[in-house]
Amino acid sequence: MRATVIGTGFGSLASALRLRALGHDVDVLEACPDAGGRARSLTFHGERFDAGPTVITAPWLFDELFELFGERRADCLEFLPCDPWYRLVYADGSRLDLVPGAERQRKEIERLSPRDASAYAGYLKHSQELYRVGYEELGDADFSSFSSMLKAFPHLVRLGAFRSLWSHTGRYFRDRRIRQAFSLQPLLVGGNPLTTTAIYGLIHAMERKGGIWFAKGGTGRLVEALVGLAVRHGIRFHYGAKVVGLSIGQERGLQSVEYSTLSEEASMPCDLCVWGGDPVKAYELLGPSRLSVIERMRARTVQSSMGLYVLYFKTRARYPDVAHHTIVLSARWEALLREIFGGSSLPRDPSLYLHRPASTDPGFGRPDGDLFYVLAPVPHLGNFSSWEEHEPAFKRTVLDVLGQQVLPGVAEQIEFAESLDPRYFRDALSSHLGAGFSIAPLLQQSAWFRFHNRADRVPNLFLCGAGVHPGGGLPGVVTSAKVVERLVREWSEDKAPHERLFFGARAA
C-alpha cells in the first residue's frame, strides 16, 4: 500500500521506517528544507548546532529501527556516554550531579543531604515500578478506546501516579534541592512539575536502565543516519512540501494529501497517512465534520506546553570545566513555574539548560573558544507574544544569569549569538501557539484523553509524535511509532473494530 508520512521529526522517521519494514511504499513530506523537525540542525556563522534535543535516553529504540532492516546503528553512528548526566547549579551556589550508578548517585545526594541519601533507594525502586507499568506495559498501548484506559487505572492508583511529581518527591526527600533534582524531568517533555503526574517519575528509572548518551557529531547526525537508512531501503523524501489539505473520499477514508512547494500545488494519493506534526493542525485540516465529538472538544480545550527561548552562541574564551548538560536553577521554583506555564510576561530570573557538547564530544572543541546553546522555558504565544520588543532585554538577562552562575565574564566573551523563540516553533514547525513540546503532559491530557494515535472518523489517518500517546521527549515520540505500527497492522488486516463507540464512530 501507498503510505504518506507527514514530517521528519523522530516520530515521523520511526513511523516511516516501521511502515517500510511492513512492506508499504512510503513517501515523506517535509515543509522545511531539511529533516529533523524540532531536532533539525542549524548553522550560524559557519558553526553547526543542534536546534533541539541533545539528550538520548532509551538508545535501544534507535537500535531497533536499524535492526528492522538487518543493520546496526553502531555501524552508522556512535553514541557517546555522558558523565555526569546533568549538573544542577542552585542559586545558593551549591551543586548536585545526576550520575550513572545508583551508589554513586546516593553518595552525591549525601553531599547535600545525608538524610535524603538514605531515601534514594526507595525512590528509585518506586520509579522502577512506575517505569515497568507506565512505559513497559502502557507505553506502546492503544488508548483510542475509553475502556483501554480503565484497565490501566487500578495499577496507576496503586502507584500513586495521579499525584503531582513535586508532591511525590516530597514523600521521599526533605531537602528542597533534592526534590527539585528529581522532579524537574517533566520540563524535558514540556510539563510543569507542579501539575504533571508522578507517572513521569519513570523517566529517572529509564535513565538508570539505559543511561544518557550524546550522538557523536550532534543529534543532527542521528537524524541523518535515520534518513540515510530510510533512503537505502526505498523511502522517498520531499522537502519544502507544506501540507495544505487532506482529501477525504466518500467512504470517509483519506485518499490524498495536498501540499504546496515554492513552484507548485500538488496532490499525493495514498492508502494510509501518518501525521507527525502538531495534531491541532491535523484537526484543523480535517475540519469539524470529520471529527468526533470528543475530538472537537479536545481541540477546543487543549492546553499547550510552555514555549522555549534558545540562544546559540560561541565564546572567545574556553570553559573546559563546564559539564555537557548544566541546569541552572532560579532561587524561585513554584512561582517561576507558574509564570512559565500560565504567566503573561517573561521571567526576570529564568532557570536555564546549558548545552556544551565539547564536554562529551571532542569534535565540538574549538581552539579559539567554545560552542554552547542555552535554553530557557518561557510562556507560549497564547500567554506572551511581544518577542520583537522584549527579546534583546531577555537575551541580556539569560547571559547575566550564565555569567553569574557558570560562565564568568561570558557577556564580554561572546563572538556571536543567535536566538530562536516561540515564533520559530509556530512559523517553521507549525506548532500550536509556538509550544516547544506540543501539548502539556497533564492528567486530563494523558492516555485516552490525549490526542489519539488514530483519527476517530478517518480510519486510515494515524498520528505520531509529541502530541499523541505516549507523549513528548525522544523516547515518547519514537515509541509513538510503535503504536502506529500496531494500529496499521490491525487496520490493514481488517482486525480493527468497525465502529468506535463512546462519542465517536469510525468507519471501517
In one-letter notation, the amino acid at residue 96 is L
pLDDT at position 493 is: 85
pTM for the model stands at 0.93
Asked if 254 and 272 touch (Cβ cutoff 8 Å), the reply is: yes
Q: What is the DSSP string of 109-126?
A: HHHH-HHHHTTHHHHHHH
Task: For residue range 225-236, list pLDDT tens digits in order.
Answer: 999 999 999 999
Angle between helices 219-232 and 60-67 (to 10 degrees): 20
Where does the chain hold its CATH 3.50.50.60 domain(s)?
2-80+215-303+441-492
pLDDT at position 500 is: 40
Closest CA to 21 of 62, 65, 60, 58: 65
Across the chain, which has 508 residues, the per-10-residue mean pLDDT values are: 97 98 98 97 97 95 98 98 98 97 98 97 95 80 67 66 89 97 93 91 94 97 98 98 92 90 94 96 94 92 95 97 98 96 96 98 96 98 97 98 97 97 97 94 77 93 94 93 96 58 37
Three cell numbers written together for 481: 511509532
DSSP secondary structure letter of residue 309: E
pLDDT at position 153 is: 64
CA–CA distance, 312 with 83 (Å, rounded to integer): 23
Closest CA to 277 of 485, 32, 496: 32
Please, what CATH class does the domain formed by 2-80+215-303+441-492 belong to? alpha beta
Asked if 379 and 433 touch (Cβ cutoff 8 Å), the reply is: no
The residues pairing with 309 across neighbouring beta strands, listed in sequence order, are 376
pLDDT at position 508 is: 32
